[in-house]
A and B are shown apart, each in its own frame.
Chain A
Amino acid sequence: MDLTLKIWRQASANEKGQFINYPVTDISPDASFLEMLDILNEELVHKDEDPVAFDHDCREGICGACSLFINGRPHGPDKGITTCQMHMRHFKDGETIVIEPWRAKPFPVIKDLMVDRSAFDEIIQAGGFISVKTGGIPDANAIPIPKRVADIAMDAAACIGCGACVAACKNASAMLFVAAKVSQFARLPQGKVEARERVQNMVAKMDELGFGNCTNTYACEAECPKEISVSHIARMNSEFLISKLASQKK
């Protein structure tokens, strides 16, 4: 396949970026999207040009490192997968593909297609955990958990922290990301103990970091590579309300 890549190039956070066109030729439809970028980068190195920077690691859709806004959609046109899992057979010979970084204020560009997502870590540090220490724990089977509940918790826990939800949202809201964690823990007996503080702390941190409000457009769910359901947002909202009411009563 021969393609034209229209790629966002930006030398660093403080410099202005721009689109630059790169032709690539003879790409196998079985190559992955990132392998196609590898091929481009090899050529750029040969031409003494600066290769395109992008984040990636596992290349199998689980680490959440890869990002890329492809033809106006986070992780490209195919549903339920990450950029690294997308293969070139999804594109047409001769097509122009527009490749941009995540664009959201809390995710500043580091270089080209690479952005800083440490804001997600900060939200988890504010409360995305169960406060148990290592050791001195009762037997794992001491608390039975209905399979149905464990399965819903697992659905929420499948989040890979890639940030597609934020990139997809016109408000750059992190609601789906935060809700997935809140909901995972709120459903499990182990997590219920701190449920109130957790939701308050995480939401406060999310607001502080400049993520926008949720206006229920559900773009996040549509673009989530793990298809995490917005029902977790509803769950979080109710957790948040209960927690607010409880703190007002005090």
Chain B
Amino acid sequence: MTKLDAKIPQGPLAEKWTTYKQDLSPVNPANKRRLEIIVIGTGLAGASAAASFAELGFKVKAFTILDSPRRAHSIAAQGGINAAKNYPNDGDSIYRLFYDTIKGGDYRAREANVYRLAEVSNNIIDQCVAQGVPFAREYGGLLDNRSFGGALVSRTFYARGQTGQQLLLGAYSALSKEVGKGNVQMYNRRDMMELVIIDGRARGVIMRNLVTGELERYSAHAVVLATGGYGNVFFLSTNAMASNGSAIWKAYKKGAFFGNPAFTQIHPTCIPVKGDYQSKLTLMSESLRNDGRIWVPKHKEDAQKIRDGQLKPTEIPEDRRDYYLERRYPAFGNLVPRDVASRAAKERCDAGFGVGRTGLAVYLDFADAINRLGKQVIEARYGNLFQMYEKIVDENPYETPMMIYPAVHYTMGGLWVDYELQTTIPGLFAAGEANFSDHGANRLGASALMQGLADGYFILPYTIQSYLNDQIRVPFFKTDLPEFDQAENSTKATIDRLLSIKGKNTVDSYHRKLGLIMWDHVGMGRNKEGLEKAIRLIRELREDFWNNVRVPGKNEMVNPELEKALRVADFLELGELMAKDALQRKESCGGHFREEYQTEEGEALRDDENFSFVSAWEYKGADQEDVLHKEILEHEFLHVTQRSYK
């Protein structure tokens, strides 16, 4: 398994990154101009990477599916971004952030990567402040922090409930500066269709121009995929509508290994599903768990009355409420990690204590906090979230508790990358949510923004040079090479095939069905039987899709139905791999809960002896089974224990 060398530098944990940087020989400035990098995606990871590459002197081509790089899914992140600054003096440190992240990920992440992430976290805050990101401040003028799930210290920096927006606009401004100078060529409304490989290295892409439908060719010395997560495989998720798994799936099918596809995060605090016309779910930031208390009625009769509309939550007295997180996890209470909170909510609802019309909801109550701190303070902290809630649900959360339920939110899995963030295809890198690194089996809140910006600002700008250093003699690529012809032709064939089916079912109808299969069998609770069933159902659905889907119009036009069809076609394959991965992992860890493997108290039961590895899947062709490789996780520096938040 030589292919799976994670290239972790030797030496003590705290010195690995420094050593790596010292040993790196950077590309000479005169040569940088002769090297081109393609960056797909301009979310936090892509925009920060593209801007930083350009500042270093490389020629950059950046692409986004949307109409502007200022809009990427990252913009929707609400709660905040972690860093180990220890400004509140509550005992935080790089080591503690590292420790919390590894533990939060249930010991399924690579130590060296996570330590580096914690190490550069502080630089991110400095960088963003210098860019003019208006983080929340205290009256003394210094930066304010709050706490998030899975941590006992306050290390989360935030900009009201719009942290992702402000960080992305920061990265976008840095990118715009370089576009203005001509160092970055920016391409909007472009969808990546295929990766082009020449002599075993990633050398280019085929993009579909979403306005004209034209298939365009771009070449470079290296390609970075920063295309975000694939949570939309579930149809309903908190992800933006354009979020997709297609770019990384194309890379997978060209030979890049896929790491931990089964590791999905189900976020505990989302607005519950209301109808079958629903197109997406809305997150209520985890930061709300700082001040909100989660409960359901203690008695089933009360829950039933609430569901029937005969009782209001405010009419239920204290002693008839079950603050189940505080009861089960006294140390962390409402601030347990997401996987734990989500499962606990599902457990209560499945047991018949759920509220709301459907019984699939629990309360998040601010009455205590409002009494303690006053409405004004709560409004200052969460005003925009409360407004958002009221607009959607038509209830006032200052007066009646919010209703929440878990929803798909984030994918820890993604392209397998080594310490340099390089995939198993030389010259192909993956950053941000698109790679599998850092979060193990469960991501802690406020750590995705940190990882995306760490990858883009502080890691890739170094590690990509180690690859590009021996590329300086490689001239600019022409795009009339046969490899480009072939990639374009195969894309064209797929598009033609989709358009020619002219079946009777819409693309969304398939996506919805796939989502239900995934949610029922590859969601919060998984078991052998269900996973096997899911694989069977997905295969049937895929077959049906390719015979009966209706994609209207033609390629040479703005055609959102075609765009969706291309994505759903990939999701129908990716979903199967997720189920396969969940099936092979016969243990429970983090967000991956196999019902067969739990403790007596219903907590996840890991099997370190047999499953302390990253699963890295290799594609072998349409008619062959994917092959599982294992990157064994050596926990050199941390003592592995059963995760406890009690």
Contacts and interface: CB of A to CB of B under 8 A. Distances in A.
Interface in A28-45: 28, 30-32, 34-35, 38-39, 41-42, 44-45
A55 interface: yes
A38 B277 contact: yes
B240 A57 contact: yes
A84 B136 CA distance: 27
Given A130-B132, A150-B137, A45 B180 contact: no
Contacts of B457: 134-135
Leading 8 A-B pairs by shortest Cβ distance: A144-B141, A129-B173, A125-B180, A154-B134, A140-B129, A111-B558, A153-B134, A137-B126
B38 to A, nearest CB: 19
B139 interface: yes
A231 to B, nearest CB: 16
A87 interface: yes
Interface stretch (A59-67, A98-106, A233-241, A242-250): A59-67
Interface residues of A, number: 80
A46 interface: yes
Nearest to B77: A62
B173 A130 contact: yes
Interface of B: 48, 51-52, 55, 66-73, 75-76, 85, 87, 123, 125-143, 159-160, 162, 164-166, 169, 172-174, 176-177, 179-180, 186, 188, 211, 240-242, 274-275, 277-280, 282, 387-388, 391-392, 394, 457-458, 461, 506, 508-509, 550, 552-553, 557-558, 560-561
Interface stretch (A1-9, A165-173, A185-193, A209-217): A185-193
Contacts of B85: 140-141
Interface of A: 11-12, 28, 30-32, 34-35, 38-39, 41-42, 44-46, 48-51, 53, 55-65, 80-81, 85-87, 89, 110-111, 114, 116-118, 120-121, 124-135, 137-141, 143-147, 150-151, 153-154, 157-158, 160-161, 184-185, 188, 190-191
Contacts of A153: 132, 134
Contact of B275 (A30, A128, A135): A30
A31 B382 CA distance: 24
Given A28-B277, A42-B506, A45-B506, A58 B561 contact: no
B55 A118 contact: no
Contacts, number: 219
Nearest to B278: A35
Contacts of A184: 132, 134
15 contacts: A35-B277, A45-B506, A53-B558, A57-B73, A58-B76, A62-B75, A87-B391, A117-B67, A120-B70, A121-B70, A124-B173, A129-B131, A134-B461, A139-B126, A140-B129
A98 to B, nearest CB: 22
Nearest to A126: B180
B240 A191 contact: no
A116 B67 contact: yes
Given A57-B71, A87-B392, A158-B160, 7 more contacts: A51-B561, A53-B558, A60-B76, A62-B75, A118-B188, A144-B142, A150-B141
B497 to A, nearest CB: 18
A135 B454 CA distance: 11
A38 to B, nearest CB: 6
